[in-house]
Amino acid sequence: MWQEKNPIEALRWPQHVRLPIIISVHHQAEEGPFVFPDGQPDPFDFSERQYGGRRGAWRILEILERHNVRGTWLICGATLEKYPEISRAVKKAGHAIAGHAYQHEFMCNLRPDEELAVMRKTVSVFEDRLGERLRGWRTCFASHNTVDLLLEHFAFEWDGSRSNDDLPYIVEGHGRELLEIPFFAPGDPAYAAQITQPFSPPSAYSTWTSAPPEFTLRSYKAVFDALYERSAEKTCVFPLTVHDFITGRPSRAKVLDSFIAYVKQFKGVVFTTHDELAGWWRANYTGIGTQDP
Amino acid sequence: MAVEIKRSAEFHWPSRVRLPVVLTFEHQSGEGAQPIFGDRPNYMISDAIQYGARRGLWNILEELDKHSVKATFFVSGSTAERYTPGVRAVQKAGHELAGMSYSFDRVRTASPEKERDIIRRSMKALQDSAGTMIKGWRCPDYRISPQTLDLLAEADFEWDSSLLNDDLPYLFDCRGRFLAEIPFTTSTADKTFASYPHPQRGGPDGLLNVWNSEFDMLYEESQRDARYLILSMQTWVVGRPAVLRVLDQLLSRLASFDGLWYARCGEISQTLRPQGA
């Protein structure tokens, strides 16, 4: 059991921060491809996603380095095992690292014990292979049990699985609290990846990357412009979600590059991570805090 | 099973080449048309594709000739048989002919015997119509079977271009025979942006935008690392005047950049051999 608390007064950013932007890189490579009824992954979708692990993640990492900005990398356990050099480079560059399930499981389809097993496996893979104790978690297709399991069995500081609010809020349960930092979902302009039929085989005509780059850039800028204006008066945060196999393609990486260059011109724009944002909240908040399990 | 050979870190293009540009055209005449109402094919869809064989190909050949660039054409075997003058003209103009199954055969779950037969029939169709032994292949729906690469190597193919997972070509060891993989992408495909009956996301302007964006990023990166620009096009999409104009605009713009090499897939596969493996 868990409940929400919303002590909005704790959601203040440091003095110099007008609009925090969290670039959230979903590094999942070929995990979670479409699977045909015969149990075989779709070779087309698999190959297109594999690009994210072989090349796309590196390109995104290079762009972030070139602009000297940090973000949060949401990494699948299996992706860490298959492409350990990327995760090591991400860690070395000072980005935040969070868990993104083991094989991009659809948690909404799992029983609570199965979901818990996936969480445990992922947490231990990051400890064993990267020496990283995960502080944050995101699963794209969260179940109704996800938050409850995180609170009951782990000591995560934040979760980013929900997409139902502009601002973070607290969830409390099992004698613990964590900060829910909602992200944007398909339908939001800042997603701007054309996901038309996530549950049927992607046709060769309708790929993950079918919006023209200029459309995506305009969409990013539309969200930024609205939030920057709003942030003059109100607390705002911009969690920008990108995927290694989508934004990692050259033509779309160019969009990320242009977007970062664009927003850097604005005063008070700060690129941050979920970990750091959770720290800002904690500095202002006197609740029960997070305890070790 | 085909096993990937790790590409040498020193991989580089021939001297004076900064960025190869690989133009690939997929050529069929309606074999791939999917029925949309009920289970019978209909002229609305198959005609849109047949256009490529009747007109599109010829328009494209003129355009390539105007810009003096060479490209690779993946041809469905039955289209080579039915539209023979087109494939002969491709061959005569110095472009590379490659295979794309016999009749848009979907092989993901096919038996090795069935797939072997499809490859053999496709080779024969191209040999009979254009007098050429094809050395390269692209799976028409980009969904290879577990044995596709091995069967291609067994049939003396030199390269495949059905995967979408890298910025550079690499080699497979197929039971002792080498097969080069030349990965492409649908993220810049003409049909994704400007093809009826599929959603026309961005139309010709969107297509030009994605091609320019792709080239700009790769040209910039090619200063530091080896890269190539590979575009996947359909004769039935880019062959239409409005979309062909986008190709014209791209090729005209690229003419002002140094170090570009319009390479056919066979030439790309050759660059792998002397260096590695």
Q: Which domains does chain A have, with CATH numbers?
A: 22-284 (3.20.20.370)
Contact between residue B76 and residue B100 where contact means Cβ atoms under 8 Å apart: yes
Which two tokens mark B272? 């792998």
Q: Summarize pLDDT for B3-31 with one digit per residue, the tens.
A: 999 988 889 999 999 999 999 999 999 99
Residue of B nearest to A62 (CA): B221
Backbone phi and psi for residue A133, each to the nearest 5 degrees, phi listed first? -90, 115
Which one, of A135, A134, A190, A200, lies nearest residue A163 by Cα?
Answer: A190
- The answer to whether A214 faces chain B, any CB pair under 8 Å, is yes
The pTM score is 0.94
Residue among A194, A207, A252 minimizing CB distance to B186: A207
Best mutation target, B6, B26, B165, B223, to test chain A (most A CBs within 10 A): B165
Taking 70 as the threshold, does the pLDDT of residue B139 lie above it? yes
Query: Which of B142, B195, B202 has its CB closest to that of A44?
Result: B142
Name the strand (E) or helix (H) holding B79.
helix B77-82
* Cβ-based contacts of B142 with chain A (< 8 Å): 43-44, 47, 204
- Given this model, what pLDDT does residue A292 score? 43
Cα→Cα distances B168→A197, B11, B22, B229, Å: 29, 9, 12, 9
Where residue B277 falls among pLDDT bands split at 50, 70, 90? very low
Sequence letter at residue B159:
W
Residue type, A271: F
B213 inside 8 A of chain A by CB: yes
- Tell me the pLDDT band of B32, cut-offs 50, 70 and 90: confident
Mean per-residue pLDDT, B115-121: 98
C-alpha count within 13 angstroms, C-beta hemisphere, residue A235: 17
**Contact (CB<8Å) B142/A254:** no
Distance CA A283, CA A16 (A): 15
| Alpha-carbon gap, residue B231 to B241, rounded angstroms | 18
pLDDT at residue A24, rounded to an integer: 95
Closest-CA distance of chain A to residue B32, Å: 12
* Pick from A175, A116, A119: nearest CA to A151: A175
Does A88 contact chain B (CB < 8 Å)? no
- Distance between CA atoms of A180 and A136, rounded to whole angstroms? 10
Q: For residues A133 and A286, what is the distance between their CA atoms, to the nearest angstrom?
A: 24
With beta carbons under 8 A apart, name residues in chain B contacting A204: 141-142, 186, 189, 191
Question: Is residue B193 within 8 angstroms of chain A, CB to CB?
Answer: yes
At B36, the pLDDT band (50, 70, 90 cuts) reads: low
**Contact present, A139 and A107 (Cβ < 8 Å):** yes
Residue B192 is predicted with a pLDDT of: 85
What is the tens place of the pLDDT at every residue in A117-157?
A: 999 999 999 999 999 999 999 998 889 999 999 999 999 99
> Where residue B43 falls among pLDDT bands split at 50, 70, 90?
confident
Judged by a CB distance cut-off of 8 A, whether residue B11 touches chain A is: no
Given a cut of 70, the residues of chain A with pLDDT beneath it are 7-8, 185-188, 190, 192-207, 209, 287-293
- Contact check, Cβ <8 Å, A44/B166: no
Beta pairing, strands A72-75 & A19-27: parallel
Residues of A within 8 A of B221 (CB-CB) are: 250
Among B196, B217, B236, pick the best mutation site for testing chain A contact (most A Cβ within 10 A): B217
pLDDT at B207: 95
Chain B residues within 8 A of A63 when measuring between CB atoms: none
